[in-house]
Amino acid sequence: MHEKDDFDLQEFLPYLLNQAAEESSLAFQQIYKHRYGMLRTEWRVLFHLGIYGELTAGEIAARARIHKTKVSRAVARLESRRFLTRSRDAADRRREALRLTPKGESAYRDLREVARDYDAMLVEGFSEHEAELLRQMLRRLARPAADRGAA
């Protein structure tokens, strides 16, 4: 198949980023899926609560830039499987604080170690400096376009 055109899809950043993101998520996905029956949004919610301790659904949605309906459904699933509990805020009864149960904590700690090892494996082929540069560039690309140039 000869090339007819000089545009290189493999060089187009959104495409390349997507391929890299998908490929590099695969093996980790297998683990949280098979070990805990979680979906992507669910491990993300789990990690947010594991790291920050107590958050509302809205805070998680804002931090992770996940739509609130997705978070709402992930929270419902995690609650029904006893990975987290909710508690209504007495002062503002719209807000609902989420917190991991011991079962949730334990799943989080387990997956956190998997994530650490997995991340280390992914950067194995890069130097320390390259890996740091990569993350820095990715953080910039991940920033909402609105912030470009801003703080």
Binding site for DNA (CB under 7 A): 39-41, 56-59, 67-73, 75-76, 86, 91-96
Hey, what amino acid is at 69?
A: T
Residue 103's binding partner among DNA, a second copy, none (Cβ under 5 to 8 angstroms by kind) is none
- Assign residue 37 a region: left if phi > 0, alpha if psi is -120 to 50, beta otherwise? left
90 to each of 49, 68, 93, 99, how far by Cα in Å? Answer: 20, 22, 6, 16
Tokens of 11: 């060089």
- Supply the minimum distance, in Å, between the C-beta of residue 148 and DNA: 22
Residue 92 is a binding residue for a second copy (CB under 8 A) = no
Look up tokens 């995690």; give the residue: 78
- Supply the minimum distance, in Å, between the C-beta of residue 24 and DNA: 15
CB closer to a second copy, 2 vs 93:
2
CA-based end-to-end distance of the chain: 47
Taking alpha carbons only, the member of 113, 43, 33 closest to residue 83 is: 43
Say which DSSP state 146 is in. Answer: G
- Supply the minimum distance, in Å, between the C-beta of residue 12 and DNA: 18
Residue 114's binding partner among a second copy, DNA, none (Cβ under 5 to 8 angstroms by kind) is none
Q: Which residues bind a second copy (CB under 8 A)?
A: 1-5, 7-28, 44, 47-48, 50-55, 59, 65, 112, 115-116, 118-119, 122-123, 125-126, 130, 133-135, 137-145, 148
